[in-house]
């Protein structure tokens, strides 16, 4: 199987490409910087140049693909949300997805059978303790608007192509993701709840993100939105306690909401808003999570659990 991957040099993308190779699936990368991709994955990786915002994806690559996994887009938490940065976040997703979909639709011969086009749980907005599944309504706010527009572009793909839009939650892992900025603070004993601590965090270990993407790739029954989160979301206070335990550090230094808003501006919504999302589609389809609970996930990231004892998820019913 040949699978075209965009955004392969990102945190999730690197884990995905490595796992595809382990499973005997041939990843074909579309990247702004081919040399960077080859440096990361080795010179034998098949990589082709593509600027997602400026041009259609290359037809010569897509027509040889069995499926496409589209992860490319400006990082949500890369910088403070100035108006310029918000425009960049939105534009990168709309234009990148539009240029990919239009290229797929324009193929004269065989089209990829599946398009997995990333989205995020920002779709649901700030929803308190409400339990959210894939049928829950669109929320309000900047991230909801971004995700709605992002998914709308993906839905323009030809009806012959199976579309999956994984709504990815707060990704946890050793080399990147949401913990990058939290770990140093907690290791120094300065971590703790954020704001009220009552807001829900719908988290997922990066190994389960990859597991779910490959599960969706292999299972034709999975279509449409797929919440890519662990089955047990936790409050921010519970998350902070679990992280402190994993690191053997105290976790009682609260960060007041007003201070975060002052320091981060609108970006503070990422840690202050509450989303209690469950992976109903994935669980009904038979996906088995490696890390369904927060403590084992954080223990593994904190290196309490040897990496050799952790198995990657595969598509199983």
Average pLDDT value for residue range 293-303: 93
Residue 176 has a pLDDT of: 78
Q: What is the CATH number of the domain that holds 274?
A: 3.40.50.720
Q: Give the C-alpha separation, 74 to 92, whole Å.
A: 6
Question: Which residues make Cβ contacts (< 8 Å) with residue 111, sequence separation at least 6?
Answer: 62, 63, 104, 105, 158, 160, 161
Strands 200-201 and 234-235, sheet pairing: antiparallel
Backbone phi and psi for residue 56, each to the nearest 5 degrees, phi listed first: -65, 150
pLDDT at 243: 87
Using 50, 70 and 90 to split pLDDT, how confident is the model at 44? very high
**How far does Cα 301 stand from its chain's mean position?**
17
**pLDDT tens readout for residues 197-214:** 899 999 999 999 999 999
The rounded distance, in Å, linking the Cα atoms of 70 and 123 is 17
Domain assignment of residue 239, yes or no: yes
Helical segments of the chain, H only: 11-22, 34-41, 59-62, 83-105, 142-154, 182-187, 206-218, 236-247, 257-264, 269-272, 280-285, 294-301
Report residue 263's pLDDT band, with 50, 70 and 90 as the boundaries. low
Alpha-carbon dihedral of residues 102, 63, 147, 277, nearest 10 degrees?
Answer: 150
Q: What is the mean pLDDT of residues 79-95?
A: 90
SS3 130: coil
Tokens describing residue 224 = 């449409």
195 versus 70: which is more confidently predicted?
Answer: 70
Per-residue confidence (pLDDT) for residue 272, from 0 to 100: 76
Give the residue, 317 or 226, on which the prediction is more confident: 226
Domain interval for residue 153: 2-309
Q: Would residue 135 count as lying in a domain?
A: yes
101 pLDDT higher than 90: yes
pLDDT, position 203: 94
According to DSSP, the β-strands at 67-70 and 2-6 are parallel
In a domain, 314, yes or no: no
- What's the pLDDT score for residue 309? 35
What is residue 188's predicted lDDT score, i.e. its pLDDT? Answer: 59
Determine the straight-line distance between the first and last CA of the chain, rounded to whole angstroms.
20
pLDDT of residue 280: 98
Q: How far is CA 193 from the centre of its chain?
A: 23
Residue 70: other Cβ atoms inside 10 A: 24
Using 50, 70 and 90 to split pLDDT, how confident is the model at 262? low
The pLDDT confidence band at residue 253, using thresholds 50, 70 and 90, is: low
Q: Which of 70, 121, 129, 119 is nearest to 96 (CA)?
A: 70
Contact 106, 161 (CB under 8 A): no
Tell me how far apart the alpha carbons of residues 63 and 65 are, in angstroms, rounded to a whole number.
6
* Residue 316 belongs to some domain of the structure: no
Total structural domains within the chain: 1
By mean pLDDT, which of 108-122, 172-186, 283-297 is the weakest? 172-186
| 220 pLDDT more than 80 | yes
**Cα–Cα dist 49/171, whole Å:** 27
pLDDT above 90 for 143: yes
CA 159 to CA 163: how far, in whole Å? 9
Q: What mean pLDDT is reported for the chain?
A: 88
> In the structure, what pLDDT confidence band is assigned to residue 264 with cuts at 50, 70 and 90?
low
Q: Predicted confidence band at 255 (pLDDT cuts at 50, 70, 90)? A: low
In a domain, 216, yes or no: yes
Question: Is residue 317 a part of any domain in this protein?
Answer: no
């Amino acid at each position: 199987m040949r699978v075209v991957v965009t955004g392969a040099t990102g945190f999730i993308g690197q884990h995905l490409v490595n796992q595809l190779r382990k499973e005997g699936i041939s990843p074909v990368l579309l990247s702004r910087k081919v040399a960077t991709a080859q440096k990361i994955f080795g010179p034998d990786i098949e990589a082709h140049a593509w600027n997602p915002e400026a041009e259609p994806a290359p037809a010569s690559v897509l027509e040889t693909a069995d499926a496409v996994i589209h992860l490319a887009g400006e990082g949500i938490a890369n910088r403070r949300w100035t108006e310029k940065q918000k425009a960049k976040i939105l534009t990168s997703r709309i234009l990148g997805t539009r240029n990919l979909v239009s290229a797929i639709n324009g193929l004269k011969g065989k089209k990829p059978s599946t398009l997995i086009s990333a989205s995020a749980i920002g779709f649901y907005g700030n929803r308190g303790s409400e339990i959210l599944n894939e049928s829950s309504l669109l929320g309000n706010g900047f991230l909801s608007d971004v995700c709605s527009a992002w998914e709308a572009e993906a839905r323009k793909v030809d009806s012959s192509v199976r579309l999956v839009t994984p709504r990815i939650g707060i990704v946890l892992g050793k080399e990147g993701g949401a913990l990058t900025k939290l770990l140093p603070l907690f290791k120094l004993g300065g971590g703790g709840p954020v704001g009220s601590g009552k807001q829900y965090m719908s988290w997922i270990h990066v190994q389960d993100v990859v597991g779910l993407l490959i599960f969706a790739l292999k299972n034709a029954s999975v279509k449409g939105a797929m919440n890519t989160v662990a089955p047990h979301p936790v409050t921010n206070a519970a998350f902070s306690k679990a992280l402190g335990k994993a690191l053997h550090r105290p976790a009682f230094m609260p960060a007041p909401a007003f201070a975060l808003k002052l320091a981060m501006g609108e970006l503070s919504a990422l840690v202050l808003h509450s989303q209690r999302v469950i992976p109903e589609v994935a669980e009904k389809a038979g996906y088995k999570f490696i890390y369904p609970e927060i403590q084992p996930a954080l223990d593994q990231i904190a290196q309490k659990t040897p990496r050799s004892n952790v198995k990657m998820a595969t598509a199983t019913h």
